[in-house]
Amino acid sequence: MVSQVNAMMISYLNGPAVGGLLAAAEAEAGFLDPDLVLWSFFIFALLLFLLRQFAWGPICEALDKREETIRQDLEQAKIGAEKAREAQVAYESKLAAAAQEANQIVATAREEATTAKSKILADAHQEAESIKQRALADIEAARRVVVNELAQSSVDQAVGLAGKMINRTLDKSAHADLISESVGRFGQSKA
């Protein structure tokens, strides 16, 4: 960078601008004052030397440092962008895995619910069938008791009726009275 600045200064000194200034000074005064030219050149060279030693070095160094800082910042930005891309890919893969796991959990829960529903329905049907069988058994037992009681009552009535028939001779009206009396007794024994 410093060498570039030096090359620019030398080309400026050899260029038409400096020559044009000298020509203008000669035209104004009508002659060229050698002392003025010498002192002007000496002051310009001294100024050029001082600028080169104290100004251009630090300016060029600051520019180089700034260029290096920018280069490092760009590299860090590239590295950061790459890390961000990697993190995004990892996040997306974890998100997909979590979604798949959630779907699997839901499917498992549905299967378990279906299994539980089937078991509950089967248990309910089995319990209903058991209750039905007990009720039928109770009905059958009650029917047997009623039939036995009816048979016993019928037998008692028949024996009582036969005994009464044997003791008396029945005419039609006595026969009707005997039937009415037997039916009445049968109704009372039921109650």
End-to-end CA distance of the chain: 132
| pLDDT for 167 beyond 90 | no
- Quote the CA–CA distance of 55 and 10 in Å, as a whole number: 17
Long-range contacts of 141-144 (CB under 8 A, 24+ apart): none
Q: Kindly state whether residue 170 falls inside one of the protein's structural domains.
A: yes
Domain containing residue 160: 137-190
pLDDT on residue 29: 53
Average pLDDT over residues 72-90: 95
pLDDT on residue 104: 94
pLDDT on residue 34: 85
Q: Kindly state whether residue 143 falls inside one of the protein's structural domains.
A: yes
Q: Kindly state whether residue 180 falls inside one of the protein's structural domains.
A: yes
Q: Which of residues 156 and 52 earns the better pLDDT score?
A: 52
Average pLDDT over residues 98-126: 93
Mean pLDDT across the chain? 81
Q: Kindly state whether residue 159 falls inside one of the protein's structural domains.
A: yes
Q: Kindly state whether residue 103 falls inside one of the protein's structural domains.
A: no
Number of domains making up the chain: 1
For residues 129 and 165, the answer to whether their CB atoms sit within 8 Å is: no
What pTM value is reported for the model?
0.39
Q: Kindly state whether residue 94 falls inside one of the protein's structural domains.
A: no
Burial group, residue 145, by CB count within 10 angstroms (0-12, 13-18, 19+): exposed
- Quote the CA–CA distance of 52 and 4 in Å, as a whole number: 12
- Quote the CA–CA distance of 167 and 186 in Å, as a whole number: 20
Q: Kindly state whether residue 158 falls inside one of the protein's structural domains.
A: yes
- DSSP letter for each residue of 122-164: HHHHHHHHHHHHHHHHHHHHHHHHHHHHHHHHHHHHHHHHHHH
Residues 41/44/50/51 CA torsion (nearest 10 deg): -140
Q: Kindly state whether residue 174 falls inside one of the protein's structural domains.
A: yes
Proportion of the chain above pLDDT 90, given as a percent: 46
Average pLDDT over residues 83-104: 94
| pLDDT for 87 beyond 80 | yes
